[in-house]
Chains A and B, each alone.
Chain A
Amino acid sequence: MGWSLENISHFIDSWLYNEFDPTIARLIEFLIIAVCVIGLFAVLGLVLILMERKVSAWMQVRLGPNRVGPGGMFQTVADTLKLIVKEGMTPLNVDKFLFNLAPFIVMIVSMVVLAPLMFAKNFQIWDINIGILFITAVSSVSVIGILMAGWASNNKYSLLGAMRSGAQIVSYELSAGLSVLCIVVLTGSLRISDIINSQANGWWLFKGHIPVIIAFVIFIIAVTAETNRAPFDLAEAESELTAGFHTEYSGMKFALFFLAEYVNVFIVCAIGATIFLGGWMPLHIGNWNGFNHAMDYIPSFLWFFGKTFLLIFVIMWFRWTFPRLRIDQLLNLEWKYLLPISMFNLLLVTVIAILKWHF
């Protein structure tokens, strides 16, 4: 067997339990997990922000960051250093406790959501029985952190931004949930590993006919809105609200909000890749055995990250393609179009699932 992440984790696991007694081995395992997720967070922050800047530069036919390191590769590292030496101010009339607590809440939420994600073949932290529901449920808790930040800042822009953000996140959560349900109906399980295994002979996007494609489109729109990204970035519409709910935050606390925002983009794209594009499953086409074999040689974690970053690229693309919506247009889009459509779509998918029309 080669050096897949599954084998490495098995090797470390068995080595630890041989060398130490179970309690200590378990503690060391916890420590390794903690270090890994923190590392993942740091790397994701650096890579995604650089990617955002490079992609937007590419879209606008300019160079983007190109001074620090080869091709501007270390630009975000430099930015991080800058943020570290920035002063984290706490304005005088804020609610100090909640003001300082809010970035922690947002970070905890985006960290906990990582638990059921499957990064490679049989490589995940906790294969919870209701994985996909866990992700939708826990990620909705971040609204609390955002409202907390906006309210505690004692600033009208912050409060307004937080309110908009809350209204937006909760509205679009419904249609995101309904389009996730389409896949659950087809799979009959909420466990992430079951959902991925059901796509061994083809991804749901290709197997499930038009209703699944509609669900996929709705899902992408909804998660773009849920992560407060353009064209749905009303919560921090620079021209009206300065910076939305984190107007008063500076230094490292601001950096944490920023990081959580990008990690959330990664997480929603990872969910999209998992349920619609087959997670770590390689691309297989019917009976082309040679092609399928060649695809199997690509490591599974590359498949997962490749698909995820493809979706992230699509979401970044949106930002430079569509103009920002007004709040009434935003809520209209959800309540008058997306929600009825996705409810009806769910019924269509149910018919397909019961008649076994999918491949």
Chain B
Amino acid sequence: MGASSLIVLMIAAVAFSGIAILISKFVLKATTNKQKGEPYECGIPTKGPSWVQFNVGYYLFALIFLIFDVELIFLFPWAVVVKQVGWLALVEIVVFFFILFMGFLYAHKKGALKWM
């Protein structure tokens, strides 16, 4: 099997979920009223919209994650060839980690990795 198996798996997932939802649609007869359509917030009537500006703390973590994620991608080709390249590869990655770690320490010092 080659890359076409991905398409097959995607179709299988869509078919599985679609059929499951369709079956339950056919089995029962749904009724609607206004109360049923309200958001469930523990029975208390909803106050204000939920689509509002949100805490920026999550965003900071997401950005730092992104930097580390890209770094991780560099590490994968490195990990594959590290046995062939030998000690040079270790030196390369130590330098790489060292520079990256300074950024990490800076973020740590500035309290960016602290929640709130």
| Contact status A248-B40, CB under 8 Å | yes
Total contacting residues, chain A, CB less than 8 A? 78
Q: Is A156 an interface residue (CB 8 A)?
A: yes
How many whole Å from B111's CB to the nearest CB in chain A? 12
B27 touches A85 (CB 8 A): yes
CB of B95 to closest CB in A, whole Å: 12
> Residue on B with the closest CB to A251?
B24
CA separation between A151 and B55, bound complex, in Å? 14
Q: Are A93 and B39 in contact (CB-based, < 8 A)? A: yes
A318 at the interface (CB under 8 A from B): no
**In the bound complex, do residue B12 and residue A92 qualify as a contact, i.e. CB atoms below 8 Å apart?**
no
B10 touches which one: A85, A92, A111, A153 (CB < 8 A)? A111
Question: Shortest CB–CB separation between residue A298 and chain B, in angstroms?
Answer: 27
Known contacts A34-B15, A38-B12; is A87 also within 8 Å of B61 by CB? no
Which residues in chain A, 66-115, are within 8 Å of chain B measured between CB atoms? 83-94, 103-104, 107-108, 110-112, 114-115
CB-CB contacts below 8 Å: A111-126 with B: 111-112, 114-115, 125-126
Question: Known contacts A125-B9, A181-B76, A256-B20; is A85 also within 8 Å of B28 by CB?
Answer: yes
Interface residue from A86, A91, A353 paired with B83 (Cβ < 8 Å): A353
**B42: A residues at CB distance < 8 A:** 242
Q: Which residue of A lies closest to B88 (CB)?
A: A354
A125 and B86 form a contact (CB under 8 A): no
Closest to A159 in B: B50
Task: Decide if A56 is an interface residue (CB 8 Å cutoff).
Answer: no
Do residues A242 and B82 form an inter-chain contact, with CB atoms below 8 A? no
Q: Let me know if B50 and A91 touch, CB within 8 A.
A: no
Which of B12, B23, B89 has the most chain A CB atoms inside 10 A of its CB?
Answer: B12
Report the bound CA distance from A93 to B79 in whole Å.
49
Taking CB atoms, residues of chain A closer than 8 Å to B62 are 166-167, 170
- Chain A residues with CB under 8 Å of B90's CB are 347, 350-351, 354
From residue B4, how far is it (CB to closest CB) to chain A in Å?
7
CA of A133 to CA of B104 in the docked complex: distance in angstroms?
A: 24
- Count of interface residues, chain B, beta-carbon cutoff 8 Å: 68
Contact A350 B82 (CB under 8 A): yes
For the complex, what is the distance from the CA of A251 to the CA of B79, rounded to whole Å?
A: 45
Interface pick from A200-208, A286-294, A328-336:
A328-336
Other-chain residue from A87, A108, A346, A353 in contact with B13 (beta carbon distance below 8 A): A108
> A254 to chain B: closest CB distance in Å?
11
Interface residues of B in 1-45 (CB under 8 A from A): 1-6, 8-18, 20-21, 23-25, 27-28, 30, 34, 36-42
**B54 — which chain A residues lie within 8 A by C-beta?**
159, 163
Confirm or deny: A155 has a beta carbon within 8 angstroms of a beta carbon on chain B. yes
Bound together, the chains give a CA A189 to CA B82 distance in angstroms of 10
Interface string of B62-84 (1 = CB under 8 A from A): 10110011001001100111111
A197 contacts B by Cβ under 8 Å: no
Chain A interface residues (CB < 8 Å from chain B):
29-30, 33-34, 37-38, 41, 83-94, 103-104, 107-108, 110-112, 114-115, 125-126, 130, 133, 151, 153-159, 163, 166-167, 170-171, 173-174, 177-178, 181, 184-185, 188-190, 242, 247-248, 251-253, 255-256, 327-328, 331-332, 335-336, 339-340, 343, 346-347, 350-351, 353-354
**Can you list 20 A-B contacts (CB < 8 A)?**
A33-B8, A33-B9, A33-B12, A89-B37, A104-B13, A104-B14, A111-B12, A114-B9, A126-B6, A154-B50, A154-B51, A155-B39, A166-B58, A166-B62, A189-B80, A256-B17, A328-B115, A328-B116, A343-B101, A347-B94
